[in-house]
Amino acid sequence: MTTSVMKKLPEVTLAFWIMKIAATTLGETAGDLFSQTLKLGYFLTTIALFLVFVVTLVIQLRAKRYNPFFYWTVILSTSMAGTTMSDFMNRDASAQYLAPGATSLGWGPQGLGLGYPEGAAILVSILLLIFLVWKLSGMTFQITEIVTFRGEALFWSAILVSNTLGTSMGDFLSDSSGLGYLGGASLVTGLLLVLVALMRVPAVPNVLLFWIAFVLTRPLGATAGDLLTKPVAKGGLNLGTAGSSAVLLAVLFGLMAYAQLKERRAAAPEFAVAEEARPQRAGHR
């Protein structure tokens, strides 16, 4: 007997990447909204957003098939949690990270102050360890073929760490590299265009390109989020975390609704075929 398992993860299309960038940019602005604008601090916000991630992940793992709202809500929660996890790892309560007039980063520990290079090195090591365990498990890295609970758990572990790593990379480009928000976003966009070109090179595995692109879209979201929210004096557009988050949430919600509609339309013929193939009851005419 053959067991059929419904796919739980989406097809990788242009719409996928647009939604990924929208979700990661919103993750940056929303994470900063809670930790900085609302002054909850990195520590308390990280705990709260990590719990949100766990709740959304449980819903996704319990789903029987791919649901765009479930999937992209987890992506968003990993982006928000990754933002504050990265900030807590890399920053401290020194003046360069405080808003004017502020004396602390909120309740609890102020931050580990590791710095972006050290924090990124730790996250790269954790991500490589996850991929090593994944490789040794013998399960596929191709997300459209992940159909087991263990495979999906490894996938989401890699997503959480990659989004945290991407935040560190984005903040380094924006704050420490001298490129500024627009320069950092332009650099990451250029690297993503190189990956698009490499898709035409047969010797380069598309799975490798996917994961590199997945990591790089996070610093793109981080720099784009900073560009939207930071003061003009620092090179931003000063739109604020609340307003930017509201607009990005509306955009992402609209894209999720469109993806849900497409998924229902695609599932309708499959349901009709299944109904036709179902054995008729005895005596039914």
Q: pLDDT band at residue 3, thresholds of 50, 70 and 90?
A: very low
- Whole-structure pTM over 0.75, yes or no? yes
Q: In Å, how far are 27, 58, 104, 277 from 164, measured between CA atoms?
A: 11, 20, 23, 47
Average pLDDT of the segment spanning 65-94: 92
pLDDT digits (tens, 9 = 90+) for 182-207: 888 899 999 999 999 998 898 888 88
Our CA dihedral for 271, 273, 274, 276, rounded to 10 degrees, sits at 120
Let me know: does 15 contact 259? Beta carbons within 8 Å: yes
pLDDT at residue 76, as a whole number: 94
pLDDT digits (tens, 9 = 90+) for 44-70: 999 999 999 999 999 999 888 889 999
pLDDT at residue 278, as a whole number: 59
Show the CA angle centred on residue 211, arms to residues 205 and 212, nearest 5°: 90
CA distance 157 to 87: 19
Q: pLDDT band at residue 1, thresholds of 50, 70 and 90?
A: very low
